[in-house]
């Protein structure tokens, strides 16, 4: 960097900062700032031309004032003038001011771009560096349009200095992340790969970051980088710490570059045999170095060393092709399981979860089962205990299933409330998947309900009933076991549901024992009746009518119960209807009709376990699906065959749990459990995919939609898998929207299909460009949507995204924020013109008024920003009451233009607003009032 000449200390700036710091109150600070702003303004407007030093000093003061939180509305031109200076310090301050204060819509952007082009063409490395930093800091689409074609040429030019190459690579990376469609692929892509061989490691580090991001989207363009990355990695890991002195961090040579190279290699499958041999040597060297005694006791040394090690293990797991390396990696991670550093234990457990899915290392992972169980019992950190549960789940197979399930059940009694539901789901899945003795399965699930009944979801007890009904050899044992469990003084309601269902179907199998006679079974269930919720009572009533068919000797007792006022006059319509229908059925139906209507449930069709589907939804498929897919061949499900693929049954065909079972009348819908009497399976898997229907709107979609009414850019939707970002621009009746779909996982999205669903009344032409059906892990794809507003409209279109992730169908729907106010053009007008126009729009149909309670704090500046963001001009000093807000604008459509005036009157004392809108069209007034009212 050029030496700072005498006088660049800017004493005036130092004095001003000192004055601000010495201010005793906010008022004193504002007074001093206003005085300084007036002085600077007079200097800039004065007749006397300012020299470069003075401009720099005053621009610096403005920048400091802005950073204190005050608005700056002048000085931009002086900052742009500094860019043409030949002095480094003046040019630096100019670029700094522009990076912080100038937005992409500024009228000065063309002048700024010209100054940047001049600096990039100057071949002065210092000036080029400043220009590149400014482009990266601003990172706007306009910057990308202007320089995305120029920067790659600088990057691969032979005479570019190393420091400029670094800045160029990182600048291009920034532009690619913000506007990937504007960065052209061309001849430079093959040349940029060779930067991995550059002698300057700083250039290699920057180039690796750029190539990794580009390779995720365009793997074929950069596949030659694999051999070069392996070569460079080999040189680093085999070098002594003294060989790379400038890039050695606490005795670890170039740790950041090593990690980046290892991540780059994870974008590709295992390389050719020749390159693979060299890569294997590198990975073995990294594993060997991890065994060596530390060269320093400082934590920075171990952090750098372990960062490289864990990234190497991630690459070994990604390739999943070298049994020796996988086992060595597992053993190395096993040593970390008892390390005193909590973060290392956490990372080791997390990595071993993935290793457990490999056929080569699964057995090696199982050898650490005792250590993992001990971690489950003794760890203080709940996140580490959660990873231990995940690892036990991943390493489970037929040989250790009973031990792991027993340990999980034992831990469940004292587990943190935040992870109990997840443990319950995993125990239920493992017990079902690896059950050889089905009596053990029944015992396990009932024990699970006893220990953590509040966390046992409906899917769990649905599934145990499915399996008992499908297995003749376990039905008698299940009836006997639930009967004994129900005799406990306190039973969880889920146990009552299971007991009611199973005894209603198979109570006859234990009725021969005097200790479990039909009357005793009925009295035992009915003793729990008054303690249960409405859905459980509905299920028990269905059990009672089953008893009438199974045990005629208790028919009179059950009829008395059904005939009681507490049933026939029950306040709940579902219970009342069941009691009336069941009593009538038991009275008028013959024995044969009863036997037909109330026959035993048929076996359920097999499909993907709904418990597994529930766990996928709760945890994110990456933690379950990958392990299940790879382990599927090693195991069979509880019904003796490989677990079937998910059924593509539409949710619309799933019978409602409260559907009328007997056909005696239409039962109103209620959230009851599945009654035992039905001619079809009610416990169908409600989590099966429907590839044809669009999903309902995602949770929180409406809130996110409302937030976009007054803004155009941001994140519209985000979950564990997918992030949807928006960047929009509207001009008159035309709009362009860029939708960014980001894959937050490390696994590809397949058959990725976004679809726009438009309401019938949407008076707009919407054209969408198709997107790539495959979205790589960690990658982002962009879709461009062009919009033309034909006439005013009410309903916004719905964006439906369907894709497959890890074999699982995903279906997401969100409202796309294309609203009528987006086609607003602000209109400035004087007070007299405003009220003249206001009177002209006096027709009752043209005015809509809404008085509503404030939903957010009544902040004046935020209110102004929202009105401006809504699209109208904010008219100052128009309303006689200065506390009121007045706006004006024109809605542009293809067929007409609609003038709009608005007035917002806040009442701070009552925390209320009155919003009045007048437009030349009544439907427009109504819609704009609805949209704007939701913002305050």
Known binding-site positions: 11-12, 43, 53, 57-61
DSSP for 280-341?
A: HHHHHHHHHHHHSPPS--SHHHHHHHHHHHHHHHHHHHHH---HHHHHHHHHHHHHHTT-S-
Closest CA to 101 of 87, 112, 115: 112
Closest CA to 845 of 795, 898, 761, 920: 920
Question: E strand or H helix at 111, and its extent?
Answer: helix 109-121
Query: What is residue 733's DSSP assignment?
Result: T
What's phi and psi for 873, nearest 5 deg?
-80, 140
- CA distance between the termini of the chain: 51
914, β-bridge pairs: 851, 905
| Structure tokens given for 129 | 């560096």
Report the alpha-carbon distance of residue 297 to residue 873 in Å, rounded. 63
Report the alpha-carbon distance of residue 727 to residue 716 in Å, rounded. 10
- Cβ neighbours of residue 818 closer than 8 Å, sequence gap 6 or more: 735, 737, 764, 766, 787, 796, 797
Cβ–Cβ < 8 Å for 723, 745? no
Closest CA to 148 of 113, 122, 124, 119: 113
User: Measuring CA to CA, how many Å separate 732 from each of 52, 296, 797, 822, 898?
Assistant: 42, 65, 19, 9, 11
- Cβ neighbours of residue 247 closer than 8 Å, sequence gap 6 or more: 201, 253, 254, 257
| Structure tokens given for 730 | 């509207």
Using only C-alpha atoms, the chain has a radius of gyration, in whole angstroms, of 35
Separation of CA 307 from chain center = 26
Question: CB-based burial of residue 547 (10 Å sphere; 0-12 exposed, 13-18 middle, 19+ buried)?
Answer: buried
- Cβ neighbours of residue 570 closer than 8 Å, sequence gap 6 or more: 576, 579
Report the alpha-carbon distance of residue 798 to residue 380 in Å, rounded. 46
- Cβ neighbours of residue 69 closer than 8 Å, sequence gap 6 or more: none
User: Measuring CA to CA, how many Å separate 801 from each of 95, 252, 693?
Assistant: 42, 45, 11
| Structure tokens given for 469 | 């009904």
Report the alpha-carbon distance of residue 865 to residue 809 in Å, rounded. 41
| Structure tokens given for 80 | 């742009």
| Structure tokens given for 601 | 């449930």
**Strands 722-731 and 252-253, sheet pairing:** unpaired
């Amino acid at each position: 960097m050029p030496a700072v000449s005498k006088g660049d200390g800017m004493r005036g700036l130092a004095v001003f900062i000192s004055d601000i710091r010495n201010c005793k109150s906010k008022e004193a600070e504002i007074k001093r700032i206003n005085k300084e702003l007036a002085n600077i303004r007079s200097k800039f407007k004065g007749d006397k031309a300012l020299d470069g030093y003075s401009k720099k000093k005053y621009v610096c003061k403005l920048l400091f004032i802005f950073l204190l939180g005050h608005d700056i509305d002048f000085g931009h031109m002086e900052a742009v003038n500094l860019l043409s200076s030949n002095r480094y310090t003046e040019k630096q301050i100019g670029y700094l001011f522009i990076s912080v204060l100038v937005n992409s819509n500024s009228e000065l952007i063309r002048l700024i771009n010209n100054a940047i082009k001049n600096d990039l063409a100057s071949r002065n490395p210092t000036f080029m560096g400043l220009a590149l930093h400014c482009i990266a800091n601003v990172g706007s689409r306009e910057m990308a349009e202007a320089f995305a074609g120029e920067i790659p040429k600088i990057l691969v030019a032979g005479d570019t200095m190393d420091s400029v190459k670094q800045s160029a690579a990182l600048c291009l990376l920034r532009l690619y992340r913000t506007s990937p469609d504007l960065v052209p692929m061309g001849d430079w892509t093959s040349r940029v790969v060779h930067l991995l061989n550059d002698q300057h490691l700083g250039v290699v580090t920057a180039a690796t970051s750029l190539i990794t991001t580009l390779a995720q989207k365009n793997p074929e363009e950069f596949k030659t980088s694999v051999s070069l990355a392996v070569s460079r990695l080999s040189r680093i890991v085999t070098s002594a710490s003294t060989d790379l002195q400038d890039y050695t961090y606490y005795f670890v040579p170039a740790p950041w570059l090593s990690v980046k190279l290892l991540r780059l290699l994870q974008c590709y499958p295992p390389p050719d045999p020749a390159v693979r041999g060299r890569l294997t040597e590198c990975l073995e060297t990294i594993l060997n170095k991890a065994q060596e005694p530390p060269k320093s006791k400082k934590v920075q040394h171990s952090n750098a060393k372990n960062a490289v090690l864990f990234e190497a293990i991630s690459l070994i797991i990604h390739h999943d092709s070298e049994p020796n390396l996988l086992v060595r990696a597992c053993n190395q991670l096993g040593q970390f399981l008892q390390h005193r550093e909590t973060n290392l234990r956490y990372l080791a457990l997390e990595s071993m979860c993935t290793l457990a899915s490999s056929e080569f290392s699964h057995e090696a992972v199982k050898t650490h089962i005792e250590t993992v169980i001990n971690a489950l019992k003794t760890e203080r950190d709940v996140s580490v205990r959660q990873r231990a549960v995940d690892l036990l789940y991943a390493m489970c197979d037929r040989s250790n299933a009973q031990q792991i399930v027993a340990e999980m059940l034992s831990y469940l009694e004292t587990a943190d409330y935040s992870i109990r539901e997840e443990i319950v789901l995993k125990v239920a899945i493992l017990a079902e998947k690896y059950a050889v003795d089905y009596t053990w399965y029944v015992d396990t699930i009932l024990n699970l309900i006893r220990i953590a009944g509040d966390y046992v979801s409906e899917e769990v007890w649905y599934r145990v009933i499915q399996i008992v009904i499908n297995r003749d050899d376990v039905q008698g044992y299940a009836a006997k076991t639930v009967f004994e469990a129900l005799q406990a003084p306190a039973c969880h309601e889920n146990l009552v549901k299971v007991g009611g269902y199973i005894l209603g179907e198979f109570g006859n199998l234990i009725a021969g024992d005097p200790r479990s006679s039909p009357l005793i079974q009925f009295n035992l269930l009915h003793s729990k009746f008054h303690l249960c919720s409405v859905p459980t009572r509905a299920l028990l009533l269905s059990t009672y009518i089953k008893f009438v068919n199974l045990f005629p000797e208790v028919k009179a007792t059950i009829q008395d119960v059904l005939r009681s006022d507490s049933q026939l006059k029950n306040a709940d319509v579902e219970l009342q209807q069941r009691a009336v229908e069941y009593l009538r059925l038991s009275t008028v139906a013959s024995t044969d009709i009863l036997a037909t209507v109330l026959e035993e449930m048929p076996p359920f069709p097999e499909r993907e376990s709904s418990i597994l589907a529930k766990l996928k939804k709760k945890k994110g498929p990456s933690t379950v699906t990958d392990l299940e897919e790879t382990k599927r061949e090693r195991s069979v499900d509880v019904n003796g065959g490989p677990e079937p693929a998910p059924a593509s049954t539409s949710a619309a065909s799933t019978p409602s749990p409260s559907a009328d079972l007997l056909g005696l009348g239409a039962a109103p819908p209620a959230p009851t459990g599945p009654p035992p009497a039905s001619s079809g399976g009610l416990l169908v898997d409600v989590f099966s995919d429907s590839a044809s229907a669009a999903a309902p709107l995602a949770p929180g979609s409406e809130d996110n939609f409302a937030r976009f009414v007054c803004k155009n850019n941001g994140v519209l939707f985000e979950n564990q898998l997918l992030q949807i970002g928006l960047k929009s621009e509207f001009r008159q009746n035309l709009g362009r929207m860029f939708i960014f779909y980001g894959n937050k996982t490390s696994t590809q999205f397949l058959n990725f299909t976004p679809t726009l669903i438009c309401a019938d009344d949407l008076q707009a032409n919407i054209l969408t460009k198709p997107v790539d059906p495959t979205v790589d892990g960690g990658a982002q794809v962009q879709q461009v949507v062009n919009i033309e507003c034909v006439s005013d409209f009410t309903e916004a279109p719905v964006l439906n995204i369907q894709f497959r992730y890890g074999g699982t169908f995903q279906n997401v729907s969100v409202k796309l924020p294309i609203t009528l106010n987006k086609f607003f053009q602000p209109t400035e007008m004087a007070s007299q013109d405003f009220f003249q126009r206001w009177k002209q729009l006096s027709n009752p149909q043209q005015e809509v008024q809404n008085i509503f309670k404030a939903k957010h704090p009544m902040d004046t500046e935020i209110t102004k920003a929202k009105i401006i963001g809504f699209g109208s001009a904010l008219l100052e000093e128009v309303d006689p009451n200065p506390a009121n807000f007045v706006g004006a604008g024109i809605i542009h459509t293809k067929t007409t233009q609609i003038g709009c005036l608005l007035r917002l009157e806040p009442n701070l004392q009552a925390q209320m607003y009155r919003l009045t809108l007048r437009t030349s069209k009544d439907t427009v007034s109504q819609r704009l009032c609805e949209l704007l009212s939701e913002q305050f």
